[in-house]
Amino acid sequence: MSEWFEIGSIGDIPRLSARVVETNQGSIAIFRTWGDEVFALRDRCPHKAGPLSQGIVHGTRVTCPLHNLVMDLTAGKAVAPDEGCVARYPVKVENSRVFLSLECGP
């Protein structure tokens, strides 16, 4: 069973942007889409270790600010023709509060 940690309000994360949470597992980027979907990925691009949290969010994807690698926020995988993956973490919103689990997803 996952342990959930409250990390703030959904309003703390601007739409089409991200906020970083520092954990014992490293930096985790919490992304918010225009439609208020929330995703959590390790904040490290698989290509050159760029900060995904500083990338451009579009739909359910983020483009790395260093070399334009595109990551799918729902799967934590690069979009073809790019390659690579990052850890993704369960995240949920309840009553406008955002909760994160440090249990890595598949």
| Paired sense of beta strands 97-101 and 4-9, if any | antiparallel
Is residue 106 predicted with pLDDT exceeding 60? no
Is residue 39 predicted with pLDDT exceeding 90? yes
Q: What structural domains does the chain harbor?
A: 4-101 (2.102.10.10)
CA–CA distance from 8 to each of 16, 19, 83 (Å)? 17, 10, 32
CB 30, CB 13: distance < 8 Å:
yes
Residue 2: pLDDT band (50, 70, 90) is: confident
d(C-alpha 96, C-alpha 71), whole Å: 26
Q: What is the pTM of this model?
A: 0.93
- Please say whether the dihedral angle defined by the alpha carbons of residues 91, 95, 97 and 99, taken in this order, is positive or negative: negative
Is residue 95 predicted with pLDDT exceeding 70? yes
